Structure formats: structure tokens, C-alpha cells
Amino acid sequence: MSLKIFKINEALKEFVPSEIVDLEEKATWGNPKRGIWDLPYAKELVEEHSLCAGCPESLAFRYILASLPNPEDTIIINSTGCTSLVFPHIALHTVHSLFGNQNAIASGIKRTLEWRFPDKVKDVVVLAGDGATVDIGLECTLHSFFRQERITTICFDNEVYANTGGQESGLTVKGQIFKMAPKGKQWDKVPMWQLAIDSGCHYVARLTVSSPKRVEKVIKQAIYVAREVGPTYVHLYTPCILEIGLNSDDALEEMRGRDKERFKFFEYISEKAKEVIERKKQEGLI
């Protein structure tokens, strides 16, 4: 992408709202060292969101968008679900795919971009809910790993089909009752992070979004490894406060609680990935 598309013509600048002028003047384009510390000072790439007040997905969005090392050349592929409500507000290239197809679409886009722009780094990032990643899209997700596609897949695990009103998903925990799962879930939560490792991902992380700094580090590592080595997978706990009956200001406490148990920070790094991460650390990029 050329940053010229954010350069507003002087003759018409006074008619353009300030939030768009800020994208040109105060956004952190072109700086791979950008990160969550820019959040209070720089123009964010997401202005507002249409999620429930206090939904942790909105936190995850802010942290991820602030951490992308190359936003001007990043394409986000998303899927239907609560997350998809945010994409219209994002000042980046995003592609809304058919529910579940996101990793197949991302594979095609990544390959085409490599062919079309051989001299340019273009990061392709998939961002989808647990239903899209692990249930309906599981085949596309795993096959993109088997094929060693150089994309980063981020799953927003809220342990439920939130957008359709509360059905259980493969990532719902055993015994959990939802409005549309009144008997409680009968089976265990799918260990998606383990499936990702077994299917060939070179970097895998599981965490909640309670710590912005940690999210930044994980996202940068996942993207740098995907660029050079192969598929990477990030599993984020973003609880659906609406479906589990919490208030808007309860999400952080909920995530901190899970930090100590089923979402305890976990990271897998392959040998090839270690080499990339070490190098990027030395370059001061992580």
C-alpha cells in the first residue's frame, strides 16, 4: 500500500474531519517499533467499536492493531462473528470471508501478494472467533497449517458462539450452560493450541488479553515468524461477558482469574522460529 492514499489534498483538507486528518498526521505508519506504548499518544487504527461495552475483544483489537509491525502492508482476513462488527471501523485492509473459510482465503491472498509484490513484505493475518476457527472452519484452519502457509492466525476465544446468541462451541468448557445449550456441554474443550503445534505451526501462544505488553510481544513474534518460516497461531481468551453474565467492568478480573488456570500463558517456539525471534530481538524489534 502507498501511504499517499492517506495524504489529503491541501485544497480540500479543511473539509475533512479531524479523525481522518489524524490518520495522516498522527498515526504510527512506517515504524516497525510501534507498539502498545503509542496507544495514549498516537492516532489509533480503530476509532470506535460496535461491541458490547467492556467486551474484551475490543481490548484485544486495540492491542493487536497497535502491535502490527507493518500495518500499512498488513491485510487482515476476518470471519463472521462479534469480531467482524469491528472491521468496518478499522483503517487497514480487511477482507471479510465466508464464515469458516478465513484461512483458505488468507492462503490465497498471501500467495498472490508474494507473486505480485516479490520485493515487498506483506503480512497476512487471520482474525476470527472460536466458532469460525475451531468448529466450522477447522478444516481450513488445519489445512493451512499442514500446507505451511506463511500466515498468522489469531483466534478470539470467547468460548461461545456469541454473535448468534449463545450456542456452545468446541472451545466451550465441559459443563458450561448457555442460553442455547441448556443441558450443559458434554465434552471437553478442544485443545486448539496443541492441534496447532501438531499440525505444523512454528509459533503458538495461548493467553488472555489481561496484559497489553504480553499481547504485543506475542503478536510481533507470531508475525515475524510467519513472514520467514511458516504458519503461526495465537489463541486469545476474550470472554463474552454478555453470555457469562458479567458486568462491563468485570472482564479484566475474569481474565486475570483464568491467567492462573486454563489460560495460563503457554508458548511453543520451533527451532527455526527461535532463530528469527532472537534476530528480531537483537534488531530491537521485539
Partner 1 sequence: MAKLGPAGYSPYPVALYEGILTPPPGKALLFTELVDEEIAMREAAKAMFTRENPTVFPGPQVLYAWNEEAKKKAQLVRKMAEVFGARIIPMYDYRPKYPKIDPQKEINPNHPNLTIWHNNIKVCIFIGVHCHYANVALKIIRAETDCYTIALCGNAGHEDATVTLRDQHSEELEKFIRIAEEVKRELKK
Minimum CB distance to Mg ion, residue 66 (Å): 23
Site string for ligand SF4, 121-160 (x = CB under 6 A): -------------------------------------x--
User: Among residues 23, 27, 45, 52, which is the contact residue for ligand SF4, using CB under 6 A?
Assistant: 52
Which partner in Mg ion, ligand SF4, partner 1, none is near 241 (CB below 5 to 8 A by kind)? Answer: ligand SF4
Q: What residues contact residue 206 under an 8 Å CB cut-off, 6+ apart?
A: 193, 235, 263, 264, 265, 266, 267
Which partner in partner 1, Mg ion, ligand TPP, none is near 88 (CB below 5 to 8 A by kind)? Answer: partner 1
Three-state secondary structure along 122-154?
CEEEEEEEHHHHHHHCHHHHHHHHHCCCCCEEE
Which partner in ligand SF4, ligand TPP, partner 1, none is near 51 (CB below 5 to 8 A by kind)? Answer: ligand SF4
Nearer to Mg ion, 165 or 257 (CB): 165
Which of the ranges 18-26, 139-147, 203-211, 235-243 carries the binding residues for ligand SF4, by CB under 6 A?
Answer: 235-243
Residue carrying the nine cell digits 515487498: 120
What the block records as the C-alpha cell of 261 is 488456570
Is residue 88 part of the contact set for partner 1 (CB under 8 A)?
A: yes
Cα torsion at 29, 31, 32, 36 (round to 10°)? Answer: -80
Q: What is the DSSP code (8-state) at residue 17?
A: -
Which partner in Mg ion, ligand SF4, ligand TPP, none is near 255 (CB below 5 to 8 A by kind)? Answer: none
Minimum CB distance to ligand SF4, residue 46 (Å): 14
Which of the ranges 6-14, 97-105, 107-115, 209-217 carries the binding residues for partner 1, by CB under 8 A?
Answer: 6-14
What the block records as the C-alpha cell of 62 is 486495540
- Phi and psi at 234, nearest 5°, equal -120, 125
Minimum CB distance to partner 1, residue 36 (Å): 24
Is residue 53 part of the contact set for partner 1 (CB under 8 A)?
A: no
What the block records as the C-alpha cell of 115 is 507473486
- Give per-residue burial for 36-75: e unless 16+ CB within 10 Å, then b: bebeeebbbbbeebebbebbbbbbbbbbbbbbbbbbbbbb
3-state DSSP call for residue 110? helix
Q: How far apart are CA 193 and CA 280, in angstroms?
A: 24
Q: How much is the CA Rg of the chain, to the nearest whole Å?
A: 19
Minimum CB distance to Mg ion, residue 252 (Å): 19
Minimum CB distance to ligand TPP, residue 103 (Å): 13
Nearer to ligand SF4, 100 or 239 (CB): 239
Q: Which residues in this chain contact ligand SF4 in the complex, by CB under 6 A?
A: 51-52, 55, 57, 82, 158, 162, 240-243
Which residues form the interface with partner 1 (CB under 8 A)?
A: 2, 4-12, 15-17, 20, 50, 88-89
